[in-house]
Structure 1
Amino acid sequence: MNRHGITPQRVHKSSGLRAWLGLVVILGPVLLVSMDGSILFLAMPRISQELSPTAGQALWILDIYGFAVGSLLIAFGSIGDRYGRLRLLMIGATVFGVGSAGAAFAPGPELLVGFRALMGVAGATLLPSALAVLSELFPEPRRRARAIGVFAAAFAAGFAVGPVVGGVLLEHFWWGSVFLVNLPVIVVFLLCAPVLLREVRATRPGRVDTLSVAASAGGLLLTIHGLKQLAADGVSVLPALTTPLGVVLLTGFALRQRHLEHPLIDFSLFRDRVFTIAVVTGLLPLAAWSATAYLAGVHLQSVLSLSVLHAALLALPGAVVLTVSCVVTPAVVDRIGKRTALAVCHFSIAAGLLLLLLTTPTGGIGWYIASTAVAGLGYGISFSVVADTAVGAVPPERAGSAGAIAETSNEIGNALGIAILGSLAALLFRLRGPDLAPTLDETLQLPGLAPAAVKEAKAAFVTGLHAAAAVAGLAHVALGTVALRLLPRQAPGEPTADRAETAARSGNAR
């Protein structure tokens, strides 16, 4: 018993309860940030009917959120490390709520794009700081790994259930409800976070290098936007200029980090093959998932004529598998090692994606459900392994920046999936379809459309879906093979290198 009359055991239990309550509070905004990356997949047809955006505006409504999050995560991860992660969480949650309210009542597509961009900026402040605060709540490596598994499950579940939530809301309310649903969660977080979470910042923050922030954000945004335009529209002047400019900015950013005392990214982390392959694992599965989820949603609604609610409910089995996989992955990785886990991740995603090749213009619902369930196992592993590897590989004061690398790979993958694989599907639709309108939905809305043209348009869309699934599936087969060949073996029960190192640092600190 200490001088306050409290036994160490009671203190430990109290601290543990506070940590888990803090985790629950953190999960709210994390779930929202990830959910808003996919909640519009089934909502876009309704938004298009109400706001009548052009084809370009519709793509920006879908993509600008992921572009903003992906381009700013690295910068805000470092800013949170230096100036306070809880402070940044509070500011980001407030701005996210303001952006959500604005998007819900946007009178036109231009303002909707603007508020979605504001939500993306706020989301970039939330993710790395939330992961860093979580690492402070759970300093012991094994408990931290379990907590990160739950964190990853919430992040993954947000992506997975976003279309489901959007479909259910649209069945009963107007389109703005998919944004307004964020506000109660934000309010609860703002009330509870100051009580349950402590401020955390680096012991030697240093100054934030403004030039690095601008180069990282501008380089990512220009590169992603240029690649998207090249994939969608072919070679033209604007993307031919923006893509190389973005690459130049990112190259300059990377070179500059080598000479800074407090870099935004510690590129030495990528010397670890496990870390590097894990970060790539954060990018590729999200690219595959975002593209195929969006295209499969169009297939269910526009090709097979299912209601938005019916299409949403069909995604539930895959969402459940994905979420459970996230939660159990840390314990499984301790037994089989990251090498085997990453291989299982990529091969299961590949198998699930290739099942989509069995869908047809007249059916394939069962194959769609099987695809989401099989791939969901791999998606869950990817979320959990990437997050745990990133945070466990660095000292605690760099946790925000490391988490930002992991989350940036997720968000860039999400944006590039729709931009590149979605554009591949759109290209094949234009080449194989009746050439009456640029998209399937626009074609089906044409007055007096002949039955033969309807059949041709639906068949062309399914061809594009198959092409996107095949390309993504083969890419996962290749990455799974690389993981097996290049990553070191790990004996069952042997702690992974990053966790062993973190444990050693903790022991030295004590």
Structure 2
Amino acid sequence: MSAPAAGQAATRRTWFGLIVLQLPVLLVSMDFSVLYLAMPTIIDSVGPSATQQLWILDIYGFMIAGLLITMGNIGDRIGRRRILLAGAAVFGIASVIAAFAPSAGFLIAARALMGIGGATLMPASLSLIANMFPLARQRARAIGVWTAAFAGGAAIGPVIGGVLLHHYWWGVVFLINVPVLAVLFLAAPSLLPEFRAEHTEPFDFVGVVLSLLGILPAVYAVKALAAEGVSAPTIGAGVFGIVMLVAFLVHENRTPSPLLTLSLFKNATISASLAIALVGMMTQGGLAYLTNLYLQSVLGFDVLEAALAGIPMAITVAFFSVYADRLTRKVGVRIALAGSVLIAAVATIGLVALTETSALWIFLVLTALAGVGFGIQFSLVTDVVVGSAPPEKSGAASGLSETSFELGTALGLALLGSLATAVFLSKDDGHGFADSLGETLHIHGTTGPAADAARAAFVDGLHAAAIAGGVLLAALSVVVMVVMRGSIRIQHGVH
């Protein structure tokens, strides 16, 4: 199949191809959140420490974040459909390995391999959309569908995982990837076009190494500081990561063929959009993890009930992602972005209303409202960044956009999760808390003074994370209004 020519409307076959592209997007985003509900079972089965629990959750995101720009560049060179299918194969094999992991270390390694495969799927699918839908208005709608699949997948991951965990062992949350990927392999050759850049610059291997040497140690330091306190190795890792990130930026600014085109950041709209992706996903990802623990360990819902509580947010995220372009054509990209970020901020800060005995409807209303804001902003961010790049660079541009999303999700677990853990541990008044609420309840039981104090301490940590994420979003909304004052109202998609 070939992509439509420039200015040509997409055919029905192209729209069917878009449906196929949603399969890997759903899987990659679901695998961020599907473990939120599975973690209590995994803890009982393989016994990870508090630090290992965080690594099981976010090594996947860190690998994706560190490799997205790289894989986007590789896709531009060897073909986007080709790298999509290669990544799907790696993702499927790693999923099977993870499902039968005998230990926490083995599971962390399998999740890392899944991250490598996932890093090829996201930019390849998004850059293919840029080729398949040359008309700006159709591309905006297609990207809205893509964003709905990505954000909605993260929201429905716990729902699907909860249903499966209600009947099967925890490894099934990984095995569900296999049949979905089989459909992708069967349908992709006939419904998806191949595209590669005709002329490419030398590959920036040094940039790849420096980016990974910067991201992984820096985030490890944040996680270790929260879980274990200040130590020389932790400080050393943090300093090393920062130095490597600075070296990466210096190298990218000087090399003639950069992995990351820093000139893109001179565009205030693109810079603001990437900041929204980073902070938005950091808040959404971190609080999704914490609120799922809240539903199970504080309110006492079982896995299935907690999973079903995520449906309202999944619906609002998906709906407002798809129809964000209509809103934007009416009010302009500046108002739509700033307003959606503010809605998410208000709903996030509203989570401080949750207590150890809150009614479920409070949680449902707040998360559904947050889904409105997140759905709109994520769809617009993606269209702004991808629509700004020429076709031969759309793989790299989509990699930059998705790096912000994935790194934001991983940082949400590391930063907001670590903040909540630090507050939780600081509230221990002689009860002997373990590193997490789940471990504490496992040691002391689910009733009694220690259990009650632990639940109250966890809620305090959740409140601290909600305030931190909400304040960041509110500040970002103001920034968007200021830096995007020159933005014009868009008529057909985002330019």
Query: Into which bin does the TM-score normalised by the smaller protein fall?
Result: over 0.9
Match of 1:396 among 391, 401, 405: 391
Q: 1:177, CA displacement in angstroms?
A: 0.6
Q: 1:264, CA displacement in angstroms?
A: 1.3
- Name the residue aligned to 1:474: 471
In structure 1, C-alpha distance between the alignment counterparts of 2:232 and 2:333, rounded to whole Å:
44
Q: 1:63, CA displacement in angstroms?
A: 1.3
Task: Name the aligned partner's letter for residue 321 of structure 1.
Answer: T
In structure 2, C-alpha distance between the alignment counterparts of 1:115 and 1:315, rounded to whole Å:
27
Matched, 1:44 2:65: no
Q: Point out where structure 2 has 5 or more consecutive residues left out of the alignment.
A: none
Task: Name the aligned partner's letter for residue 484 of structure 2.
Answer: L
Q: Which shifted more, 222-231 or 22-31? A: 222-231
In structure 2, C-alpha distance between the alignment counterparts of 1:107 and 1:90, rounded to whole Å:
28
Q: 1:486, CA displacement in angstroms?
A: 2.0
- Name the residue aligned to 1:460: 457
In structure 2, C-alpha distance between the alignment counterparts of 1:448 and 1:103, rounded to whole Å:
30
Q: 1:492, CA displacement in angstroms?
A: 4.8
CA-to-aligned-CA distance 1:135-171 (integer Å, 9 cap, x gap): 1111111111111111111011111111111111101
Superposed, 1:182-193 pairs within 5 Å as 182-193=177-188
Match of 1:407 among 393, 402, 406: 402
Match of 1:240 among 232, 235, 256: 235
Q: Which shifted more, 206-215 or 70-79? A: 206-215
Superposed, 1:275-290 pairs within 5 Å as 275-290=270-285
Q: 1:490, CA displacement in angstroms?
A: 5.0
Tell me, what secondary structure is at the counterpart of 2:323?
helix
Tell me, what secondary structure is at the counterpart of 2:233?
helix
Match of 1:422 among 408, 417, 420: 417
- Name the residue aligned to 2:295: 300
CA-to-aligned-CA distance 1:463-495 (integer Å, 9 cap, x gap): 111111011111111111111122125565545
- In the alignment of these two chains, the number of paired residues is 487
Quick check: 2:444–2:450 contact (8 Å CA) kept in 1? Answer: no
TM-score (norm 2): 0.95
- Name the residue aligned to 1:329: 324
Task: Name the aligned partner's letter for residue 72 of structure 2.
Answer: G
Superposed, 1:85-96 pairs within 5 Å as 85-96=80-91
- Name the residue aligned to 2:200: 205
Percent sequence identity is: 44
In structure 2, C-alpha distance between the alignment counterparts of 1:118 and 1:493, rounded to whole Å:
41
- Name the residue aligned to 1:97: 92
Tell me, what secondary structure is at the counterpart of 1:436?
coil
Q: 1:401, CA displacement in angstroms?
A: 0.8
In structure 1, C-alpha distance between the alignment counterparts of 2:353 and 2:21, rounded to whole Å:
40
Tell me, what secondary structure is at the counterpart of 1:205?
coil
Task: Name the aligned partner's letter for residue 458 of structure 1.
Answer: R
In structure 2, C-alpha distance between the alignment counterparts of 1:80 and 1:218, rounded to whole Å:
22
- Name the residue aligned to 1:173: 168
Task: Name the aligned partner's letter for residue 395 of structure 2.
Answer: G
In structure 2, C-alpha distance between the alignment counterparts of 1:339 and 1:89, rounded to whole Å:
33
In structure 2, C-alpha distance between the alignment counterparts of 1:185 and 1:102, rounded to whole Å:
17
Task: Name the aligned partner's letter for residue 371 of structure 2.
Answer: G
Q: 1:121, CA displacement in angstroms?
A: 0.5
- Name the residue aligned to 1:362: 357
Matched, 1:55 2:14: no
Tell me, what secondary structure is at the counterpart of 2:300?
coil
Task: Name the aligned partner's letter for residue 453 of structure 2.
Answer: E
Quick check: 2:333–2:489 contact (8 Å CA) kept in 1? Answer: no
CA-to-aligned-CA distance 1:216-268 (integer Å, 9 cap, x gap): 22222222222222333332222212222222222222222233333211111
Q: Which shifted more, 189-198 or 279-288? A: 189-198
Quick check: 2:227–2:435 contact (8 Å CA) kept in 1? Answer: no
Quick check: 1:391–1:399 contact (8 Å CA) kept in 2? Answer: yes
Q: 1:393, CA displacement in angstroms?
A: 0.9
Q: Which shifted more, 146-155 or 206-215? A: 206-215
Task: Name the aligned partner's letter for residue 464 of structure 1.
Answer: G
Matched, 1:110 2:105: yes
Tell me, what secondary structure is at the counterpart of 1:371?
helix
In structure 2, C-alpha distance between the alignment counterparts of 1:346 and 1:210, rounded to whole Å:
36
In structure 2, C-alpha distance between the alignment counterparts of 1:212 and 1:32, rounded to whole Å:
28
Tell me, what secondary structure is at the counterpart of 1:81?
helix
In structure 1, C-alpha distance between the alignment counterparts of 2:261 and 2:468, rounded to whole Å:
32
Q: 1:194, CA displacement in angstroms?
A: 1.5
In structure 2, C-alpha distance between the alignment counterparts of 1:56 and 1:257, rounded to whole Å:
33
Q: RMSD between aligned alpha carbons?
A: 1.7
- Name the residue aligned to 2:141: 146
CA-to-aligned-CA distance 1:336-386 (integer Å, 9 cap, x gap): 111101111211111111221111112242211111111101110122011
Quick check: 1:346–1:378 contact (8 Å CA) kept in 2? Answer: yes
Quick check: 2:286–2:413 contact (8 Å CA) kept in 1? Answer: yes
